[in-house]
Structure formats: structure tokens, C-alpha cells
Amino acid sequence: MEKTVGKTRDKILRIIMENSEITALELSDKLEITSRAIEKSINQLKNEGILIRKGSKKTGYWEIKSSE
């Protein structure tokens, strides 16, 4: 299970690097997994300080914090 979560997180980050304005629903469609699974992965990335949402849900964008 842990390997799958890690792979999903990596895929989410890769897609966000390509399109920072993508929505969680679009991520769900693109990765063919449930929106709940996307939400859980995004929340984990946000809690770890890796991913930040700037702006509103509709017009905002994702920011990936670089590890310096």
C-alpha cells in the first residue's frame, strides 16, 4: 500500500509541474483514481509543506516548494 501512495504522490507532483492550475477533479480523471484518493494525497503533501495552494479553488494554482 505504501508504494502505491508514494507512486500516486509522485504522479500528482509531476502533473502539477506540467500544469499548476489543474484541479483535483482533473487529477482524478487523469490518474484514473478516486477524487478521495487525490484529496488524501494532496492533504498529505500540503501537511508536509511540499505543496501549497495559492488563490481560490476555482482560479488558484498549485505551488511546489523546492527542497533547498
Cα gap 57→1, rounded to integer Å:
29
Read off the pTM: 0.82
Query: Measured in whole angstroms, how far is the alpha carbon of residue 12 from the centre of its chain?
Result: 4
The CATH number that applies at residue 18 is 1.10.10.10
Predicted confidence pLDDT, tens digits, the chain (68 residues): 455 667 899 999 999 999 999 999 999 999 999 999 999 999 999 999 999 999 988 889 999 997 54
Q: Which three cell numbers stand for residue 49?
A: 509543506
Question: What pLDDT, on a 0 to 100 scale, did the predictor assign at position 3?
Answer: 54
What does the radius of gyration of the chain's CA atoms come to, in whole angstroms?
Answer: 11
Question: What pLDDT, on a 0 to 100 scale, did the predictor assign at position 10?
Answer: 93
Say how many domains are in the chain: 1
List the domain range (segments joined by +) for residue 57. 2-64
